[in-house]
Amino acid sequence: MLTTTVGLGDRAYPIYIGAGLIDQADLFIRRMPQKRAALVTNETVAALYLPRLQAALEGAGVSVLPIVVRDGEAFKTWETLNAIYDALLSARCERRTALIALGGGVVGDITGFAAATYLRGVPFIQVPTTLLAQVDSSVGGKTAINHPLGKNMIGAFYQPAAVIADLATLSTLPPRELSAGLAEVIKYGFLGDRDFIDWLDAHLEALLARDPTALAFAVERCCRNKADIVARDERETGDRALLNLGHTFGHAIEAALGFGRWLHGEAVGAGMVLAARTSRQLGHLDDADVARVTAMVARAGLPVTPPHLEIAQWLDLMGHDKKVEGGRLRFVLLKSLGQAYVDAAVPRPVLEEVLAGAAVDG
């Protein structure tokens, strides 16, 4: 088992990474103030892993309330959040009752938001079962639900007590979901870890083949990179914004198509290519750099071209991005491969040229 720590003073917490961790009840109990937990998952993950985790916890004397919600980004809504509240209130869950999120990014985000707001805050443990959640969304305390006008627009910063990433759960991940997770893995290289870019170039096919050693290395490397950034900038007032490489474009794609049509990682993959093209237009990257970004995204099985959207629709949807400041769009771009920065002064003609070119390419 590998362990990385998110260093937030007296709110620091561990990230445990290894195979078979779902069955290790002691990892959970040491972070629970009472032997009672509400276990939130979705229909798909429940069939695979809910009985195992519930049996492990109950075998250790923990009383478990299972809460099963519908599966998919389309259900990351107030209605699903209220269903979780209903279950917690009906069971008279207390302020020391832990909420455990068993699933991917949607389950983790919505359970975390429920934990942040139920009784003004209850303990929360992340058990990510997708690659995307293990390397990114489960770490750092961002919790949210979607709004029709924008992704993750309603939420809270609320850190978990622990993240328990069982690598064995990746064996049941559909190929499309695995590729979606690789978008976030690739992101960490391009935004600030040049050595990791080179490692990915050599090991991307091993990750696609679910090689255990490669997966363990990638998950730990990504978690360590994110933990370092979160420790410096928990609430995204500075460096943490760099983690949104590809996301301004990607979130616009998700909102335009309807949440769930494209997976989050698919939209981020195409968004990273658009960010690279924008960086080239601003004189930071050359054609070879853009080709390298595009090739890696494609090798991961991700789209490199966005769906066709009108320029006005792109601009309107990106205007709802959380990074907008003073009415100005802020993009995470690349000064070089492995060095990201936030740019709030991308000239509109440059942006329109990039988006128009993407539409032509499509």
151 is catalytic: no
284 is catalytic: no
* CATH code at position 338: 1.20.1090.10
194 in any annotated domain: no
* SS3 (DSSP) at 261: coil
Q: What is the pTM of this model?
A: 0.94
43 is catalytic: no
292 is catalytic: no
Catalytic residue among 187, 251, 284, 322: 251
Q: Which residues pair with 165 in a beta bridge?
A: 17
The range of the structural domain enclosing residue 155 comes to 2-172
Q: Specify whether the CB–CB gap between 42 and 71 falls below 8 A.
A: yes
Strand pairing category for 2-6 and 13-18: antiparallel
For residues 144 and 235, state if they share a domain: no
Torsion angle of C-alpha atoms 251, 253, 258, 262, degrees rounded to 10: -100
- From first to last of its 362 residues, what are the pLDDT tens digits of the chain? 999 999 999 999 999 999 999 999 999 999 999 999 999 999 999 999 999 999 999 999 999 999 999 999 999 999 999 999 999 999 999 999 999 999 999 999 999 999 999 999 999 999 999 999 999 999 999 999 999 888 898 999 999 999 999 999 999 999 999 999 999 999 999 999 999 999 999 999 999 999 999 999 999 999 999 999 999 999 998 999 999 999 999 999 999 998 889 999 999 999 999 999 999 999 999 999 999 999 999 999 999 999 999 999 999 999 888 788 887 889 999 999 999 999 988 999 999 999 988 765 54
Which of 127, 154, 172 is where one domain is finished? 172
Catalytic residue among 264, 280, 284, 323: 264
Q: Which residues pair with 333 in a beta bridge?
A: 341
128 in any annotated domain: yes
Token pair listed for 97: 């009752």
Catalytic residue among 73, 224, 244, 323: 244
Q: Which residues pair with 157 in a beta bridge?
A: 142
Residue 185 buriedness (CB in 10 A; 0-12 / 13-18 / 19+): buried
Number of domain units in the chain = 2
209 in any annotated domain: no
342 in any annotated domain: yes
Q: What's the rounded Cα separation, in Å, for the pair 285 and 337?
A: 8
For residues 166 and 242, state if they share a domain: no
